[in-house]
Amino acid sequence: MLSRKTLVAPSILASDFGLLGVEVERMTSAGADWIHCDVMDGHFVDNISFGPAIVEAVSRYTALPLDVHLMIDHPDRYLERFMPFAASISVHLEAAHDVSKTLATVREEGLLSGLAISPQTPIEKIKPFLGAFDILVIMTVNPGRGGQAFLPDMLPKMAQAAIWRSQGGYDFHIEVDGGINALTAHDSVQAGANILVAGTSVFRAPDAAIAIKQLREV
């Protein structure tokens, strides 16, 4: 079974992009477990963030696993551009043309395969894909921009996913992304999550190491 220990994945979307390498090194030194890369295309979400060139640049400043979250339409068309630098790639249920094939393609390359769902998507929509992914990403804000408040209505989704995982003998992480701080992390972990994507709460904390430690120990 995959480890259920709590992992903290700082999202570079909240970093100072003028000092991206320094910021990635800072999170690595502060004790991050993964580095989260939010890729946005201006179509699936109303924002454009960065593409494979930035993910490749991030990989040169850390040995930590890169957790690539594709908030883009037709993610299957772009997988090969991110695979050389990623340890995991998550695609949105709402955006992938052939979800099963896309998840399988990621796994075939030896990467962790993630399935992400937006707040409006019922958790029941993931059931046909149980067993096909290694990470379930539950968006706890509306995807597209950082700094939003956590949506507590997403907690029952985490709890339901954890029940299906346990009852069905499935093996996947539950990752939460959006509005994560010490308080919302505690609630999320209690509901079943074990990967915490954190942006503002770590990048803008007075001490990133303390902020990450607090998240991990909730």
Please list the alpha-helical segments (H only) found in 14-108. 20-29, 52-59, 79-82, 99-108
135 domain residue, yes or no: yes
Number of domains the chain contains: 1
pLDDT at position 96 is 82
Q: Which of 79, 20, 28 lies closest to 54 in space, CA to CA?
A: 20
pLDDT at position 161 is 98
Residue 69's CATH number: 3.20.20.70
Distance CA 125, CA 157 (A): 11
154 domain residue, yes or no: yes
Indicate which residue of 38, 76, 134, 187 is catalytic.
38
153 domain residue, yes or no: yes
pLDDT at position 53 is 98
35 domain residue, yes or no: yes
2 domain residue, yes or no: no
Integer angstrom CA distances of residue 164 from 104, 157, 212: 21, 11, 29
Q: Which amino acid is residue 149, in one-letter code?
A: A
pLDDT at position 135 is 98
- Both tokens of 116, joined, read 């992400």
Indicate which residue of 33, 67, 177, 187 is catalytic.
177
pLDDT at position 148 is 81
Is 153 a residue of the active site? no
pLDDT at position 97 is 86
1 domain residue, yes or no: no
pLDDT at position 1 is 40
185 domain residue, yes or no: yes
Who contacts 212 (Cβ-Cβ below 8 Å, separation ≥6)?
8, 10, 27, 30, 31, 32, 198, 202
What are the tens digits of pLDDT across the range 16-64?
999 999 999 999 999 999 999 999 999 999 999 999 999 999 999 999 9
Say how many Å lie between the first and final Cα of the chain, rounded: 22
Residues of the chain with pLDDT under 70: 1-3, 146
Distance CA 67, CA 59 (A): 11
Q: What domain range is 68 assigned to?
A: 7-216
pLDDT at position 67 is 98
45 domain residue, yes or no: yes
Is 177 a residue of the active site? yes
The pTM score is 0.95
